[in-house]
């Protein structure tokens, strides 16, 4: 302690009292000369400053908090030395101290290393024996980390509030603690197979819904589920919002939570408070910190507009596919006539021969019977051709079924015999044995193969001496079923590669530009992919299609 300096000791109720100086020249030492040692034992920062702001004392905790030793702090102006900032302003804090004799609040200061610390401080006047203020004592606690935590929590709550209220999705905060007790009751009764139990007892599912309390909902929920902006009528339980048909989706979400899953998501049916049922995407997350408290946050998105748009898109694709099939049938008119004429001609020939056998003096009934069998067979063949043509010309919703891609290619090859002959072309089939089935619509797959084959035939060069070949092959590629169509034509121009599958793009003068876009739509709707390329072994273009295998996967077989 400096000679002549006033020292202070903490008294009752947080007040401080002044202690007169003691002499160093042999005088009697005041019993309070141990004050510095006592203050150094305190865990809080404690220092005193004169009324003009000069630091008079500085304990060990102050050294640790601010990083300045006592020798560097004594005599310095407090606020200038520590770059003090006060959230209410230093002048306002000083006025409170003057009026009330004390002030407390938070201060931002700078350490010796230039780091900012936040201190929860209390200022009190130190008075002499006459009661006059002679100095100011400050106690301070470092709350930097606590303030950072509070700020992080505030920001987190702010973000949560913004997400909860501002996003264009319905959010619900639920209390499902009572649901846990219902599950425990069911388990204690010896029911360990929860899925089976709830299938047999749907009434318990409804009980769980009634036990799930709605704590809060955002504005979007009120728009989607409520009426007339009334939020309060939603803050009860979730039973009104789950139609009976969605019981299974609700209980699946509950069981996924108790099984330890991180989240649950399903497309289901939900019901607004006015009874309107709509398509919805329901999601729930199960973070451990909230699960332990019995609270849950779920999200709901209305899928009505999306599903309506998808339905309109499917109708548009079906219309485009139908238009492309009708156009293709026009191109195949000669082939159709040829295919139909063959069985009709055979029927006429066999009928005439049968009549001759009957008109003999001794009719040969055995020959007539044989010819009649041929007539029936040819009639069925003609009927099959007509049915296939009607199927391709009809406008109907596709019906995916398991089918053999090899069968589709073989049927198409029979249908194209006249076109192949007219183009003086050679068609080679290389169909792998033992291929798994694919799941697709037969008529649509026939349409794809016919379209690719016709494109290949029309791309073949004209004139004698030119190679005119089309290869159609099937096989396995990475567990998927592969179809390739190659030709010896002129190939695909680089400028056209990126536009082949664009709607209404065509390199043919009379082309509609629908064949390849529709083919891609058909293949993608079956879960497959279609790709165009050039530089094949035949020198022309190559189209390749891969489709997911349906059922057991067959062994890879070399092309036959």
Query: In the predicted model, what is the mean pLDDT of residues 389-406?
Result: 74
Name the class of domain 399-560. alpha beta
Name the class of domain 7-147. alpha beta
- Percent of the chain topping pLDDT 70: 72
- Secondary structure, 3-state, 46-93: EEEEECCCEEEEECHHHHHHHCCCHHHHCCCEHHHHHCCEECCCHHHH
8 Å CB contact between 506 and 512 = yes
8 Å CB contact between 20 and 5 = no
8 Å CB contact between 266 and 289 = no
Instruction: Domain ranges for the chain, please list them.
Output: 7-147, 167-302, 308-397, 399-560
Residue 416 confidence (pLDDT) above 50? yes
Residue 250, token pair as written in the block: 């609700």
508 CB neighbour count, 10 Å cutoff: 11
State residue 151's pLDDT score: 72
Phi, psi torsion values for 189, nearest 5 degrees: -80, 5
d(Cα 24, Cα 464) in Å, to the nearest integer?
129
- For 468-520, write each residue's pLDDT tens digit: 888 999 999 888 999 999 888 877 766 666 656 665 555 655 555 566 777 88
pLDDT band at 207 (very low <50, low <70, confident <90, very high): very high
Residue 289 confidence (pLDDT) above 70? no
Please tell me the number of Cα atoms within 13 Å of 5 on its side-chain side.
Answer: 18
| Closest C-alpha to 1, from 43, 41, 29 | 29
Higher model confidence: residue 277 or residue 550? 277
CA angle in degrees (0–180, nearest 5) for 72-78-84: 120
Residue with tokens 């049915």, as numbered in its chain: 387
Residue 73, token pair as written in the block: 């702090």
- Secondary structure, 3-state, 439-452: EECHHHHHHHHHHH
State residue 558's pLDDT score: 35
d(Cα 260, Cα 263) in Å, to the nearest integer?
9
d(Cα 202, Cα 271) in Å, to the nearest integer?
18
DSSP symbols for 270-286: EE-TTS-EEEEEEEEE-
State residue 385's pLDDT score: 65
Q: Which CATH fold would you assign to the domain 167-302?
A: Beta-Lactamase (3.30.450)
State residue 165's pLDDT score: 52
Which pTM does this prediction carry?
Answer: 0.40
8 Å CB contact between 318 and 398 = yes
- For 325-380, write each residue's pLDDT tens digit: 666 666 556 556 656 666 776 677 777 777 887 888 888 888 878 878 878 877 77
| Closest C-alpha to 452, from 472, 468, 432, 437 | 472
State residue 192's pLDDT score: 86
The reply to whether 7-147 and 167-302 are identical in fold is yes
């Amino acid at each position: 302690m400096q000679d002549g300096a006033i020292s202070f000791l903490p008294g009752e109720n947080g007040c401080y009292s002044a202690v007169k100086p003691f002499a160093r020249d042999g005088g009697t030492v005041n019993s309070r000369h141990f004050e510095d040692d006592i203050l150094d034992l305190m865990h809080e920062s404690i220092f005193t400053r004169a009324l003009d702001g000069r630091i008079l004392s500085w304990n060990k905790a102050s050294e640790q908090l601010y990083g300045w030793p006592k020798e560097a702090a004594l005599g310095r102006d407090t606020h200038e030395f520590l770059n003090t900032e006060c959230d209410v302003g230093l002048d306002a804090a000083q006025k409170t101290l003057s009026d009330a004799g004390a002030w407390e609040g938070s201060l931002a200061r700078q350490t010796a290393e230039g780091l900012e610390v936040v201190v929860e401080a209390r200022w009190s006047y130190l008075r002499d024996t006459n009661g006059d203020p002679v100095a100011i004592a400050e106690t301070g606690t470092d709350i930097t980390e606590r303030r950072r935590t509070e700020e992080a929590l505030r920001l987190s709550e702010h973000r949560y509030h913004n997400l909860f209220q501002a996003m264009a999705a319905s959010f619900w905060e639920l209390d499902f603690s009572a649901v846990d007790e219902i599950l425990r009751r069911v388990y204690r009764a010896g029911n360990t197979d929860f899925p089976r139990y709830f299938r047999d007892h749907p009434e318990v599912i409804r009980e769980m819904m009634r036990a799930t309390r709605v704590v809060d909902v955002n504005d979007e929920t009120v728009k989607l589920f409520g009426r007339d902006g009334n939020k309060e009528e939603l803050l009860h339980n979730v039973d009104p919002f789950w139609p009976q048909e969605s019981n299974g989706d609700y209980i699946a979400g509950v069981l996924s939570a108790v099984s330890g899953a991180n989240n649950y998501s399903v497309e289901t049916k939900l019901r607004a408070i006015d009874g309107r049922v709509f398509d919805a995407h329901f999601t729930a997350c199960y973070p451990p910190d909230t699960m332990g408290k019995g609270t849950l946050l779920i999200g709901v998105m209305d899928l009505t507009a999306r599903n309506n748009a998808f339905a309109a898109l499917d109708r548009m694709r079906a219309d485009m596919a139908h238009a492309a099939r009708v156009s293709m049938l026009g191109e195949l008119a000669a082939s159709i006539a040829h295919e139909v004429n063959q069985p009709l001609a055979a029927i006429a020939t066999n009928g005439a021969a049968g009549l001759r056998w009957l008109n003999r003096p001794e009719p040969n009934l055995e020959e007539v019977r044989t010819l009649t069998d041929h007539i029936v067979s040819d009639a069925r063949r003609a009927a099959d051709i007509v049915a296939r043509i009607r199927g391709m010309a009809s406008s109907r919703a596709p019906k995916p079924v398991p089918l053999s891609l090899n069968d589709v290619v073989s049927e198409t090859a029979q249908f194209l015999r006249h076109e192949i002959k007219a183009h003086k072309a050679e068609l080679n089939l290389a169909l792998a044995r033992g291929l798994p089935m694919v799941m697709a619509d037969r008529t649509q797959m026939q349409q794809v193969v016919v379209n690719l084959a016709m494109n290949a035939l029309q791309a073949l060069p004209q004139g004698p001496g030119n190679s005119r070949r089309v290869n159609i092959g099937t096989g396995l590629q990475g567990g998927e079923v592969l179809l390739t169509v190659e030709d010896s034509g002129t190939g695909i121009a680089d400028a056209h590669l990126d536009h082949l599958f664009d709607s209404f793009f065509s390199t043919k003068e009379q082309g509609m530009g629908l064949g390849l876009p529709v083919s891609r739509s058909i293949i993608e709707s079956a879960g497959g992919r279609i790709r165009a390329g050039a530089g094949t072994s035949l020198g022309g273009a190559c189209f390749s299609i891969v489709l997911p295998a349906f059922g057991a996967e067959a062994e890879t077989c070399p092309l036959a």
